[in-house]
Amino acid sequence: MRKFFVLSLGLVFIAAACNQQPANNNTTSQEKQLTSPSNDNRTFVVQLKAQNNSKQNGVARLKMEGDKVKVEINVSSSTKDVQQPAHIHLGSCTSLGDVKYALNNVVNGKSVTLIDTTLDEIIASLPLAVNIHKSAAEASVYYACGDVPATPEGAITPSTSDSNTAKQVTINSNGFSPASLTVKKGTKVTFKNSDTKTHWPASAPHPTHTDYLELDPLQAIAAGGTWEFTFTKVGTWKYHDHLNPTQFGTIVVTE
C-alpha cells in the first residue's frame, strides 16, 4: 500500500511538470515576436546642417532593414569624388564625443551603411549626432552635423482634429493630380503611382532636391506603389518627377 501511494504521488508531480512546460515555451515565443526588429517600421530623420561654410546640408535617415539599422545619408555635394568620413558620435553637434558607430564614407553626397544594432538601442544611447568630415586628410574639419532625434518621422501631435487629415497626390503620364495642394503642418500626403511606369516625386530643384531634402523617397515608386510623407515645414514647396523633370507640382504647407 505504501509503495502504491509513493508511486501515485510521483506520477502526479511528473504530470504537473509536463503540463507547465508548454506555457513557458508559448510565452517565450510571444515575447520574441513582439520585440522582433523586423516589426519596426519607424524612420528617424536627422537634419544635417552645414559646418565651417561648407554649404553641405541634407538629411540622414535611420530605419530597420532586417535585423540591422540602415543609415542613409543624402547631402548636397560640395566635394566631387572626395571620400568624406562619417560617423555617429556620442553627444550632440555642439559637444561631440567619441565615435559610437562608424559609417561608410560619403561620396558625392551619398552614403549607405548597415549597423549591427537596433533603433531601440540607438535611442537608448541618446544624445547622438551624425557627423561628416571634410576628407580623410582633413578629418578635423567638420562639414555637416545633425543630432539624432528622439522621435521618428511623422510623430506629430495635431493642433486640431482635422489638422493632419491624410491627402493623396496621384501620379500618371500626365503629371501630378492635383498639381497644387494646400495642407496644414503635420499632414501626411500619399503619393500614389497610378501609371504603368515608375515615377519619382522629389523636391525642386532638379537634380539636387535641396529645397526640401526630406521630400525625396531616394528611389522610384513602382507602378501601383505609394510613398507617404509628412510635411513638417511651413512654406510653398515645389516638387517634380525626378525621372521626368518637366512634370511639376506644388504643395503649400500652412500652420
Indicate whether 38 belongs to any domain: no
Q: Which of 149, 195, 152, 148 is nearest to 176 (CA)?
A: 195
Q: Are residues 54 and 134 in the same domain?
A: yes
Out of 22-31, 86-95, 142-151, 182-191, least confident range: 22-31
Return the higher-pLDDT residue of 2 and 246.
Answer: 246
Cell of 146: 545633425
Q: Are residues 193 and 115 in the same domain?
A: no
Based on the domain organization, do 47 and 94 belong to the same domain? yes
Domain-located, residue 186? yes
Residues 174 and 248 in one domain: yes
Integer Cα distance of 229 and 201 in angstroms: 11
Number of domains, the chain = 2
Helices (H) and strands (E) in the chain, counts: 2, 16
Same domain, 123 and 174: no
Do 135 and 173 lie in a common domain? Answer: no
Model pLDDT for residues 157-169, shown as the tens digit of each residue: 333 334 456 789 9
Same domain, 143 and 231: no
**67-76 mean pLDDT:** 93
- Quick one: cell of 11? 506520477
Which range of residues forms the domain containing residue 88?
43-147
Residue 204 included in any domain: yes
The CATH number of the domain holding residue 178 is 2.60.40.420
Give the 3-state DSSP-derived string for 182-241, with helices as H, strands as E and coil as C: EEECCCEEEEEECCCCCECEEECCCCCCCCCCCCCCCCCECCCCEEEEECCCCEEEEEEE
Same domain, 130 and 174: no
Asked if 130 and 210 sit in the same domain, the reply is no
Among candidate residues 205, 162, 185, the one with its CA nearest the CA of residue 252 = 185
pTM, 2 dp: 0.51
Give the C-alpha separation, 204 to 248, whole Å.
9
Q: In this predicted structure, what is the pLDDT of residue 219?
A: 86
Task: Indicate whether 125 and 209 sit together in one domain.
Answer: no
Given phi > 0 = left and psi -120 to 50 = alpha, else beta, which region is 204? beta
111 lies in some domain: yes
In a domain, 229, yes or no: yes
Residues 127 and 174 in one domain: no
Q: What is the CATH number of the domain that holds 101?
A: 2.60.40.200
User: What DSSP assignment string belongs to 104-165?
Assistant: EEEBTTEEEEEESS-HHHHHHT-SEEEEEES-STTTTSEEEEEEPPSS-TT----SSTTTT-
Residue 38 has pLDDT above 70, yes or no: no
Average pLDDT (221-245) is 92
